Amino acid sequence: PKRQRGERKEEGVLTTTSSKPVVSINPEVILASPSAFAAGQGEGGPGRTAGPGTGGLPRWQLALAVGAPLLLGAGAMYLWSRQRRRRDTGGRGDASGLKRNSERKTPEGRASPAPGSGHPEGPGAHLEMNSLDRAQAAKNKGNKYFKAGKYEQAIQCYTEAISLCPTEKNVDLSTFYQNRAAAFEQLQKWKEVAQDCTKAVELNPKYVKALFRRAKAHEKLDNKKECLEDVTAVCILEGFQNQQSMLLADKVLKLLGKEKAKEKYKNREPLMPSPQFIKSYFSSFTDDIISQPTLKGEKSDEDKDKEGEALEVKENSGYLKAKQYMEEENYDKIISECSKEIDAEGGRHRAEALLLRATFYLLVGNASAAKPDLDQVISLKGADVKLRANALIKRGSMYMQQQEPLLSTQDFNMAADIDPQNADVYHHRGQLKILLDQVEEAVADFDECIRLRPESALAQAQKCFALYRQAYTGNNSSQIQAAMKGFEEVIKKFPRCAEGYALYAQALTDQQQFGKADEMYDKCIDLEPDNATTYVHKGLLQLQWKQDLDKGLELISKAIEIDNKCDFAYETMGTIEVQRGNMEKAIDMFNKAINLAKSEMEMAHLYSLCDAAHAQTEVAKKYGLKPPTL
Ligand SMILES: *[C@@H]1O[C@H](CO)[C@@H](O)[C@H](O)[C@H]1NC(C)=O
Ligand SMILES: *[C@@H]1O[C@H](CO)[C@@H](O)[C@H](O)[C@H]1NC(C)=O
Ligand SMILES: *[C@@H]1O[C@H](CO)[C@@H](O)[C@H](O)[C@H]1NC(C)=O
Ligand SMILES: *[C@@H]1O[C@H](CO)[C@@H](O)[C@H](O)[C@H]1NC(C)=O
């Protein structure tokens, strides 16, 4: 039986992990973007996508193990942790003394010994030791009650310990407060937990256990910002080694991102993607009426007369006019022309116009406007079945983007029912299955697509990618070799298919065959010099391969030069700037990406990145840690 990925808790690790680089960056996949799922809720959420190798491994561990395929996403966190590990192996490991102890049954934390807190030695020590000893005894009694589950009594004992403890015994005192907080936690008295932890942290600023407990209390009290700050401090102080705190950081980042995105997305201006993106999107449909160039006979006489005078547009032509604008790449006018056709009495191309309008609503990121149009096309029984199947594919992708995998699957299955010979259905359903991590079904769909359209290079390349993922997940090296050989065959058979090289390059990067991956990206660039995404991937490769930051940034700048709406480039640039310690620049980049986000989910993911970066800088400042740089 298929695992429900969302149900496995350790899967839900870092929001800050984008899976973009390891999933095919087809435009329609972006529309139902992988990072959309990364930004979704943790437990109980629908299929979350990850790199080829996530089988069972938490994603942040994967980021450590595999390195940069997730570097851009894991971003700040990843580098911090790498930095930390390097330093630890160097012998100092300043976080080690602060690790939460793992004993479950006692509330006591191993506080880091503050300077000058040893047992007093000089004159007058005797009296002090007495009161400290009495405080310790009260605490020990409290611990016994705690272990027995008698939390009220435990709290009394800890209170006694606090009042007995000499005020200059910071570390002991902080422990007593922390212990009392643990008892309050058991009673779910979150405000008291937060208050006692605050005392403990005031007395002992790097007291990880108290910080983490306060983070949890803030979570319960719905103080997300405070929770994020505390848990970020914990993650940094622990060197990103503790999964529990990573999980909480992930969770609160997602909640915050979602909240902000919801607010922002409502009020944003519709945004038309770049012409390259739009053309690439339409090219992913081959069995599609609306994206085919207008047939000669379809054009009205007036249109024929006007050919060559592109800008002179007749008021009443509706759909055909919209098609003409499409050929001219004058995309901003398409929605209004379609509306004219739809609103006109007895328009001949009503269904086509609805579908085209819906498609552009989707492209500008307005799903709520797209849905009724798609619903109409789908229920128009008299309409061409190709139109209805295409509408179902698009509605299915839209549902996927909204994290409704069941509705999505339903639509794709219905599309296959009504138009079983439509290669697009299988092609797009295969991509959905990859996102849902149902690799076997994905391969079957790609096979069906290939059977219907043997010349479909894209489907063959994606099939290889699915097989690669499957092999990687199954840790089967002979299958991995077979998948790599499959890629070789695809690029030999379809030397003009850029996507084949791009997907092969991703697999090669994953296999640490960097030189060859770089060659493949160069081939992509030769074939599609104006595809910005490829430059970003190539830039990331430089980072992972040679740690060549300048070259990486240069390539990503080039991507922005080619397409100044390339959100992926801004996101990546932002992450790199975080790692270089240029926070303002990073936040600027993230905000640019946020403004370009193609869906609310993607926007939420970007807000999470931005918040993570911000929190880490704040914490670094507060604790006097120098932000790591590449
Ligand atoms: C750009 O290239 C990527 C592969 O790197 C491909 O998936 C995508 O469809 C291309 N995008 C555009 C807009 O051409
Ligand atoms: C979506 O489109 C509808 C209809 O044009 C419009 O009223 C609405 O404001 C748009 N919503 C967004 C989020 O752009
Ligand atoms: C994968 O398989 C190899 C041997 O084939 C084994 O050494 C390794 O531990 C396996 N890795 C995982 C994550 O199962
Ligand atoms: C790897 O896959 C091959 C081919 O599917 C299979 O014959 C072999 O048993 C698998 N090996 C392992 C270790 O699972």
Assigned domain for 24 exists: no
- Kindly give the distance from the C-alpha atom of residue 266 to the centroid of ligand 2, in angstroms, as a whole number: 9
Same domain (yes/no): 235, 172: yes
pLDDT value of position 317 = 66
354 and 253, same domain (yes or no): no
Please identify, by atom number, the ligand 4 atom nearest to the C-alpha of residue 482.
Answer: 4
- Report d(CA 155, CA 146) in Å as an integer: 8
Name the domain boundary from 267, 301, 331: 267
Q: What is the pLDDT of residue 14?
A: 30
The CATH number of the domain where 540 resides is what?
A: 1.25.40.10
Identify whether residues 135 and 194 lie together within a single domain: yes
Q: What is the pLDDT of residue 522?
A: 97
Residues 140 and 259 grouped into a single domain: yes
Residues 411 and 541 reside in one and the same domain: no
Tell me how far the alpha carbon of residue 349 lies from the centroid of ligand 2, in angstroms: 23
Model's pTM, two decimal places? Answer: 0.73
Q: What is the pLDDT of residue 287?
A: 81
What's CA 577's distance to the chain center, in Å?
18
**358 in a structural domain:** yes
48 three-state secondary structure: coil
- Ligand number, closest to the Cα atom of 472: 3
pLDDT tens column, 67-108: 222 223 333 333 343 333 333 333 333 333 333 444 345 566
Q: Is 81 in the pocket of ligand 1 (CB under 6 A)?
A: no
Q: Helices marked H in 580-599 — which ranges?
A: 583-596
What is the C-alpha end-to-end distance of the chain, expressed in Å?
43
Q: Specify the ligand 2 atom closest to the Cα of 267.
A: 13
Q: Does residue 298 belong to any structural domain of this protein?
A: no
Same domain (yes/no): 165, 225: yes
Same domain, 147 and 185: yes
Q: Is residue 263 part of a domain?
A: yes
Choosing from 439, 467, 473, 478 the residue with most ligand 4 atoms within 8 A of its CB, the one to mutate for a pocket test is 478
Low-confidence spans in the chain with pLDDT less than 50: 1-104, 109-122, 296-315, 629-630
Does residue 557 belong to any structural domain of this protein?
yes
- Evaluate whether residue 384 is within a structural domain: yes
Burial class (CB in 10 A: 0-12, 13-18, 19+), 517: buried
Give the per-residue pLDDT at 284.
86
Same domain, 279 and 257: no
Among 449, 382, 378, residue whose Cα is nearest residue 407? 378
Same domain, 278 and 245: no
Q: Atom 13 of ligand 1 has which residue's CA nearest to it?
A: 277
Same structural domain for residues 285 and 385?
yes
Structural domain including 144 reads: 131-267
Domain total in the chain: 3
Environment class of 528 (CB within 10 Å of its CB; exposed 0-12, middle 13-18, buried 19+): middle
Cβ(517) to ligand 1 under 6 A?
Answer: no
For residue 402, give the CATH number of its domain: 1.25.40
Same domain, 246 and 338: no
Q: How far apart are the CA of 515 and the centre of ligand 4, in A?
A: 28
Q: Is 113 in the pocket of ligand 2 (CB under 6 A)?
A: no
Residue type, 378: I
Domain boundary among 419, 446, 468: 419
In a domain? residue 519: no
Give one word for 179, left, alpha or beta, with left for phi > 0 and alpha for psi -120 to 50: alpha
Q: Which of 390, 419, 448 is the last residue of a domain?
A: 419
Domain-embedded: residue 178 = yes
Verify that 154 and 173 share a domain, yes or no: yes
